[in-house]
Structure 1
Amino acid sequence: MSEALEPWSEFNVAMVGATAALAGLLIVAMSVNIGAIMSSKTLPARAAASIATLVLAIVVTGLALAPGQPLWAYGIEALVAAAVAAAFEVHAVRAIFQDDQHRGTARELAAKSAAGLLPIVAYLVGSVLLLAGVVPAGLMVLGIATILAIASAIVLAWVVLVEVLR
């Protein structure tokens, strides 16, 4: 672990544990309703994006705890992890915009999409700041991104589980 990451170790340990527990609970909750989720046009993609966002938080905070890792390597790892999660989120956004059954205004569709995109963008920004050498700001943005990822995943998973009952 680099010297700059040392002050973040307790935060990262707490986030890895809490996020992993939350991801497990959400997977169990979704598996109970998997038939209804899979019969929807948008819910599978939204559920996958929610889980991918939590996995992103686990990966980024977990990798921050790796001993002997240079900051540039951590920045690349966080950037790659965010790009992978972004693919899931883009798929969910496309599903939302292509859903003929629950069409809304452009503003409503954008609002549905923003909750999932916000933490991904924050991770991308934090990673780029880290790679650019703006270490304190990059680490702070990655910490904020982790909190946003957890909040976003909870909200999106809740939406999926509520939509199953409609």
Structure 2
Amino acid sequence: MELLLKGFGIGIGATALMDLWAVFLWKVCGQARPNWAPVGRWFWHLKNGTVFHDDIARAEPYAHERALGWIGHYAVGILYGVVLALLAGAAWFASPTFLPAWILGMVTVGAGWFLLQPGLGLGIAASKLPNANKVRLFNLVSHTVFALGLYGTALLIACVA
């Protein structure tokens, strides 16, 4: 149970750091802020068994899709944190290292490239977008920031334990 709670904590911490990174990119670099409404719409349509859309914007809207997108974003981050906790174990939490967190961060890019982006109608690894390589690079960097959040939150947990 302790590993699950620590996994929950590092998942929240990592997702929050990823969100702070997005705010930094928006404020400093003029990068568009993430819009979680299409992701919420995608989650909503999963209940009907629809995973892949030609264009999520043309799918039937859901009144609370932005909220559902945010909830889904954090739920997935927590899930990844729990996965790392279970794979790395109690010994990792006693003395966290970056490499396991970074490996998981890079693996999670695959979920975006091969499930979420095609599910939204963007193609595999955003291949249908005119700036696909830029999106891929931002995905890799953002998931590295997520990994830093997993690691950093684990360090905080180790300090207070």
TM-score, scaled to structure 1: 0.34
Give the structure with the larger helix fraction. Answer: 1
TM-score, scaled to structure 2: 0.35
- Which one scores higher on RCO, CA 8 angstroms, separation ≥ 6? 2
